[in-house]
């Protein structure tokens, strides 16, 4: 009787086989029974207030006592013996239902449970999933380890629902798991989300998810107080393989009771391009990147129960050469586990090098026309210990003709010598074969520089691709450096892609067009995807900025028109610079692009604050009053008559440093007083006053007055 008002009852691993003694506790709303040997739950039939029921490892077969418990919102009966789930058909208030490891084959009783957001049916005998197609509120659907050959009825759910499908007849077979060594780092964080780059947050912007996902990372590089550290994860036998790995490498992240996210990076060398499937299983929320692209994320809590193996898969392409796989995992329900691998038969090796060596390219001309001769420079970018390279070059012989090949000077750095083979040019087939260079030294070279220069002559208009085949970079140790050839596209006869508006010059107008489409799924202008990677992001903006001021009709740079500058403001440019610095991958394009953006920003910041002459003057009835601010400030413009009477006060508010001269930026006066009456003809004075702001404590106060004339 003393427990009659009890609302929560949790029983863990006790030698209890009957729940009859709690029959009178009819006010219970939450019951947990874990591993207690209970098979009969009929005493619960009268618990009409029950909202949450969890049972793990109890041999429950009969679910009929639950049929009338219509207040249930959460039901978890895993590791039991239930086969008939028809008693659950009327529990329409259920939001979460977990029935892993039972004997279920018929899921039709669940078709009406449309309030479900999470449904886990893994490790049963299910073959027909069509009754689940109408559960459109589902965020998670677990169907791994069943007998399902056809998942097509669930196509309608794929856009909004994460579905685990591994280990079914209708699914491909997963291959060996990637044990590593991976590079791991933990960062503070309660959970993964759509918007937060936790690497950038923990490192104050010195390292980002995009950087690591694209190029890998170096062991020992810091992220806040933690370092990227090598570690292997067990492929089987543990539902806490991440936690065990952290213990093995001496990390306190698993034991300090702090909410943390873990990132793992590994480089995989593929002998050829392969269309395959990536398999994965994680105990918590997860994000996965491959070669710089976010290919999967599940930001809902996965399911109840441990994760011992793969749960899901998705189609991916492994490129020839180095592939960077980056994952981020949170703790989920407390089981810090994760498994990753590829479809059975996929060929790759885990690289002992943790960063991808980058090779970029540059053209000697920004605009190429028929009969022009130009040079293609192939450049190593921020490589480490490079000792040699080899590749063949393929091109379209109807568009280009190879003229000559010259070795770059990068491998000759520090007075080094090389063995260079210039290959054989065949302009009939469009091939340059047998190209290679090796450094004759005990040490490799690091940094950025030119590997090879190829001179071409343009033969015909059109867009053409130059392909590097049999591409390989070698380290001084004799090991292959993880790398991938650049995608080289050359346009002959047209304007370059960074001239977005195709007006013959690269100006701030092109920057504006790209900026308008940043992050857009459907761009307003298809040319704003400058690098043609399918995403409009800071890299497209950087490519335009790299060529800012160039005329695409001549080699000499063109001036930036003041009318163009009117479309920008310093805050916008500073935001671009900040984003570019966060995502800077060390490439020449980023260095030149950021430098040009900084020069552009300097055009907007005057050396001193000033009040300028209004225009037009004399005027009737309106005028514009230009000014410039050397520092951010709170700005007020006061207009008064010759006797000192205030006619109008224009509170312009807090303004960033910049030039306010054009009609869209200058202060505007319509010739009316505070009550909206037009003022009389005559001389008036206007005074600009500024007050320093918290963001600019050194700005000081400024006051200046000028005269203007209204003539009617």
Domain ranges of the chain: 8-172, 175-350, 359-492, 508-602, 610-710
3-state secondary structure 294-316: EEEEECCCCCCCCCCCCCEEEEE
* CATH code matching the domain that covers 610-710, chosen among 3.90.700.10, 1.10.1060.10, 2.60.40.4070, 3.40.50.300: 2.60.40.4070
Give yes or no for residue 236 having a pLDDT over 60: yes
* CATH code matching the domain that covers 8-172, chosen among 3.40.50.920, 1.20.1560.10, 3.40.710.10, 3.80.10.10: 3.80.10.10
Average pLDDT over residues 371-380: 93
In the chain, what percentage of residues exceed pLDDT 70? 92
Tokens of 648: 């109008």
Give yes or no for residue 306 having a pLDDT over 70: no
The candidate with the shortest Cα–Cα distance to 475, out of 451, 447, 444, is 444
Max CA separation in the chain (angstroms): 101
Radius of gyration from C-alpha coordinates of the chain: 33
Out of 172-176, 289-293, 514-518, least confident range: 514-518
Crossing angle of helices 570-583 and 588-602, rounded to 10°:
160
What CA–CA distance (Å, rounded) separates 3 from 419?
87
Out of 195-199, 498-502, 628-632, least confident range: 498-502
Question: 707 — phi, psi (to 5°)?
Answer: -110, 145
More confident site: 158 or 86: 86
Cβ neighbours, 10 Å, residue 667: 20
Question: What digits encode the pLDDT tens for the residues 404-453?
Answer: 999 999 999 988 899 999 999 999 999 999 999 999 988 889 888 999 99
Tokens of 409: 């000077």
**What average pLDDT is seen over the chain?**
86
Helix (H, G, I), strand (E, B) or coil at 534: coil
Give yes or no for residue 394 having a pLDDT over 90: yes
Contact 36, 59 (CB under 8 A): no
Q: Which residues on neighbouring strands pair with residue 606, listed in sequence order?
A: none
What CA–CA distance (Å, rounded) separates 666 from 101?
71
Question: What digits encode the pLDDT tens for the residues 520-530?
Answer: 767 777 788 88
Where do we find the tokens 């047209």? 494
DSSP readout, 227-293? E-EEE---SSS-S-HHHHHHHHTT-STTTS---EEEEEEEEEEESS-EEEEEEEEESS-EEEEETTE
Average pLDDT over residues 261-285: 90
Secondary structure tally for the chain: helices H, strands E: 8, 39
Cis before 181 (ω within 30): yes
Query: Which residues have CB under 8 Å from 198's CB, separation 6+?
Result: 187, 188, 189, 192, 209, 261, 263, 328
Local confidence band at 694 (pLDDT 50, 70, 90 cut-offs): very low
The candidate with the shortest Cα–Cα distance to 684, out of 627, 651, 644, is 644
Q: Buried (b) or exposed (e) across 703-712, using 16+ Cβ within 10 A?
A: eeebebebee
In the chain, what percentage of residues exceed pLDDT 90? 48
Give yes or no for residue 269 having a pLDDT over 90: no
The whole-number pLDDT of residue 705 equals 93
DSSP readout, 562-604? HHHHTT--HHHHHHHHHHHHHH--S-HHHHHHHHHHHHHHHTT
The candidate with the shortest Cα–Cα distance to 408, out of 367, 440, 373, 436, is 436
Contact 660, 666 (CB under 8 A): yes
Please state whether beta strands 96-98 and 118-120 pair in parallel, antiparallel, or not at all (unpaired): parallel
The candidate with the shortest Cα–Cα distance to 480, out of 618, 322, 615, is 322
Query: Which residues have CB under 8 Å from 694's CB, separation 6+?
Result: none
What CA–CA distance (Å, rounded) separates 497 from 503?
11
| H-state helical runs in 314-427 | none
Tally of residues, the chain:
712
Helix (H, G, I), strand (E, B) or coil at 512: helix
Give yes or no for residue 562 having a pLDDT over 50: no
First to last CA, the chain: 95
More confident site: 664 or 66: 66
Where do we find the tokens 């029950």? 50
Local confidence band at 148 (pLDDT 50, 70, 90 cut-offs): very high
∠ CA 520-566-708 to the nearest 5 degrees?
A: 145
Give yes or no for residue 73 having a pLDDT over 80: yes
Give yes or no for residue 284 having a pLDDT over 60: yes
User: Mean pLDDT: which of 203-217, 241-255, 322-336, 504-518 is highest?
Assistant: 203-217
180, 400, 431, 435 from 403: Cα distances, Å: 45, 9, 12, 15
| DSSP secondary structure letter of residue 211 | H
Where do we find the tokens 């192939």? 378
Contact 373, 386 (CB under 8 A): no
Containing 543, the helix (H) or strand (E) segment is helix 538-546
The whole-number pLDDT of residue 262 equals 92
Query: Which residues have CB under 8 Å from 188's CB, separation 6+?
Result: 198, 202, 224, 258, 259, 260, 261
Question: What digits encode the pLDDT tens for the residues 629-677?
Answer: 888 889 999 999 999 999 999 999 988 888 888 887 899 999 999 999 9
| DSSP secondary structure letter of residue 17 | -
Average pLDDT over residues 70-94: 95
Average pLDDT over residues 577-590: 78
User: Mean pLDDT: which of 114-118, 212-216, 367-371 is highest?
Assistant: 114-118
Q: Is the dihedral of CA 221, 224, 230, 235 positive or negative?
A: negative
**For 175-350, CATH number?**
2.60.120
Please state whether beta strands 358-363 and 373-394 pair in parallel, antiparallel, or not at all (unpaired): antiparallel
**For 359-492, CATH number?**
2.60.40.680
Query: Cα 405 from chain centroid?
Result: 38
Q: Is the dihedral of CA 539, 542, 547, 548 positive or negative?
A: positive
Q: Comparing 8-172 with 610-710, is the CATH topology the same?
A: no
The whole-number pLDDT of residue 1 equals 58
DSSP readout, 42-68? GGGGG-TT--EEEEES------GGGTT
The whole-number pLDDT of residue 354 equals 63
Please state whether beta strands 118-120 and 140-142 pair in parallel, antiparallel, or not at all (unpaired): parallel
Rama region for 656: left / alpha / beta (φ>0; ψ in -120 to 50; rest) = beta
Average pLDDT over residues 267-280: 92
Tokens of 56: 């793990």
Query: Which residues have CB under 8 Å from 501's CB, separation 6+?
Result: 509, 510, 513, 527
């Amino acid at each position: 009787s003393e427990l009659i008002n009890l609302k929560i009852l949790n029983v863990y691993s006790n030698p209890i086989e009957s729940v009859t003694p709690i029959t009178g506790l009819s006010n219970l709303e939450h019951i947990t029974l874990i591993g207690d040997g209970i098979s009969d739950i009929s005493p619960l039939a009268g618990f009409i207030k029950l909202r949450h029921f969890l049972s793990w490892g109890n041999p429950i077969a009969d679910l009929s006592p639950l049929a009338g418990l219509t207040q249930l919102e959460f039901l978890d009966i895993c590791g039991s013996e239930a086969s008939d789930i028809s008693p659950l058909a009327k529990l329409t208030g259920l939001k979460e239902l977990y029935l892993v490891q039972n004997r279920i084959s018929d899921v039709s009783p669940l078709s009406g449970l449309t309030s479900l957001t999470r449904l886990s049916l893994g490790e049963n005998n299910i073959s027909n999933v069509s009754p689940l197609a109408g559960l459109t509120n589902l965020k998670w659907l677990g169907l791994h380890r069943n007998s399902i050959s056809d998942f097509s009825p669930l196509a309608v759910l794929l856009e909004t629902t994460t579905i685990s499908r591994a280990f079914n007849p209708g699914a491909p077979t997963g291959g060996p798991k990637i044990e590593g060594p991976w590079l791991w780092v933990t960062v503070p964080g309660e959970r993964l989300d759509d918007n937060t780059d936790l690497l950038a947050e923990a490192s104050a912007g010195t390292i980002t998810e995009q950087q690591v996902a694209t190029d890998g990372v170096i062991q020992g590089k810091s992220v806040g107080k933690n370092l990227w550290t090598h570690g292997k994860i067990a492929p089987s036998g543990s539902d806490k393989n991440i936690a065990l790995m952290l213990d093995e490498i001496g990390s306190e992240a698993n034991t300090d009771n702090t909410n943390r996210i873990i990132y793992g990076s590994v480089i995989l060398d593929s002998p050829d391009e392969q269309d395959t499937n990536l398999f994965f299983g994680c105990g918590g929320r997860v994000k996965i990147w491959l070669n710089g692209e976010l290919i999967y994320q599940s930001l809902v809590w996965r399911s109840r129960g441990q994760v011992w193996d793969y749960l899901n898969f998705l189609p991916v392409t492994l490129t020839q050469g180095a592939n960077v796989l980056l994952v981020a995992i949170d703790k989920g329900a407390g089981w810090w586990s994760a498994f990753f691998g590829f479809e059975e038969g996929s060929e790759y090796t885990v690289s002992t090098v943790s960063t991808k060596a980058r090779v970029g390219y540059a053209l000697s001309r920004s605009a190429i026309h028929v009969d022009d001769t130009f040079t293609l420079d192939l450049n190593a970018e921020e490589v480490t210990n490079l000792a040699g390279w080899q590749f063949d070059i393929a091109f379209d012989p109807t568009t280009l003709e190879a003229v000559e090949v010259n070795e770059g000077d990068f491998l000759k750095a520090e007075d080094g010598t090389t063995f260079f083979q210039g290959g054989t040019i065949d302009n009939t087939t469009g091939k340059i074969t047998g190209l290679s260079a090796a450094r004759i030294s005990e040490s490799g070279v690091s940094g950025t520089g030119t590997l090879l220069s190829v001179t071409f002559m343009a033969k015909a208009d059109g867009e053409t691709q130059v392909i590097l085949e049999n591409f390989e970079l070698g380290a001084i140790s004799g090991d292959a450096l993880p790398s991938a050839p650049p995608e080289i596209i050359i346009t002959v006869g047209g304007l370059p892609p960074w001239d977005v508006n195709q007006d013959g010059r690269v100006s701030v107008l092109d920057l504006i067009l790209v900026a308008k489409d940043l992050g857009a799924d459907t761009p307003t202008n298809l040319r704003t995807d400058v690098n043609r990677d399918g995403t409009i992001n800071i890299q497209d903006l950087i490519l335009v900025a790299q060529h800012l001021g160039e005329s695409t009709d001549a080699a000499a740079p063109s001036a930036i028109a003041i009318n163009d500058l009117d479309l920008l403001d310093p805050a916008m440019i500073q935001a671009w610079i900040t984003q570019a610095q966060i995502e800077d991958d060390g490439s020449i394009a980023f260095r030149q692009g950021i430098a040009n953006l900084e020069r552009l920003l300097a055009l907007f910041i005057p050396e001193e604050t000033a009040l300028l002459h209004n225009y037009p003057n004399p005027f009737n009835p309106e005028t514009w009053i230009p000014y410039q601010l050397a520092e951010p400030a709170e700005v007020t413009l006061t207009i008064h008559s010759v006797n000192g009477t205030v006619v109008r006060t224009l509170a312009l508010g807090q303004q960033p440093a910049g030039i306010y001269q054009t009609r869209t930026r200058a202060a505007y006066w319509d010739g009316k007083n505070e009550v909206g009456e037009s003022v009389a003809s005559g001389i008036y004075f206007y005074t600009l006053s500024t007050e320093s702001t918290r963001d600019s404590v050194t700005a000081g106060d400024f006051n200046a007055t000028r005269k203007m004339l209204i003539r009617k």
